[in-house]
């Protein structure tokens, strides 16, 4: 490797390093948007779309029988946020206490009598589809810098 080649590589690395905050921010946005779109798609998209189990109808739904699953006020969907983790990362979280129950499901006893089961309706978690979106975005940045 010649001195000029090494100098060009170092210059490219510095340019890419200056782009890292934008890359990391866009990664967080892609993740947040992917999880929010679960509510529109009525299911979670990992490799394929896994539709949520339909809700049982009850008195509260009489006025809105076609209401989307997991959407009554929209608070759960709006609660999905990005939280910066150091300089190069984000966690996507929901601060609502019932988010984990909906995402993972729940089995228990109501007042010690009847067994009940709330189905898993995952809207956040590992997603191969989301990772592919992030990889394509990183490839675009890398190709732009290392032409």
For the chain, first and last CA: distance in Å? 18
C-alpha 45: how far from chain center: 10
Cβ count within 10 A of residue 71: 14
pLDDT at 144 over 90: no
- Determine the Cα–Cα distance for residues 103 and 48; give it in Å rounded to an integer: 17
- Determine the Cα–Cα distance for residues 5 and 7; give it in Å rounded to an integer: 5
Strand partners, 92: 82
Q: Whole-model pTM? A: 0.83
pLDDT of residue 62: 61
Q: pLDDT-based confidence at 63, cuts 50/70/90?
A: low
Q: pLDDT-based confidence at 43, cuts 50/70/90?
A: very high
Write the burial class of residue 35 (CB in 10 Å: 0-12 exposed, 13-18 middle, 19+ buried). Answer: buried
C-alpha 59: how far from chain center: 32
Q: pLDDT-based confidence at 58, cuts 50/70/90?
A: low
């Amino acid at each position: 490797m010649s001195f000029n080649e090494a100098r060009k590589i170092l210059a490219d690395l510095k340019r890419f390093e200056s782009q890292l905050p934008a890359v990391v921010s866009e990664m967080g946005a892609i993740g947040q948007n992917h999880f929010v779109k679960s509510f529109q798609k009525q299911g979670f998209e990992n490799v394929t779309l896994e539709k949520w189990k339909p809700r049982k109808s009850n008195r509260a739904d009489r006025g809105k029988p076609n209401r989307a699953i997991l959407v009554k006020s929209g608070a759960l969907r709006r609660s999905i946020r990005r939280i910066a983790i150091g300089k190069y990362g984000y966690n996507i979280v929901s601060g609502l206490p019932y988010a984990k129950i909906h995402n993972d499901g729940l089995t228990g006893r109501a007042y010690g009598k009847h067994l009940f089961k709330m189905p898993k309706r995952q809207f956040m978690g590992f997603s191969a589809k989301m990772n592919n979106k992030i990889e394509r975005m990183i490839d675009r940045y890398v190709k732009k810098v290392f032409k």
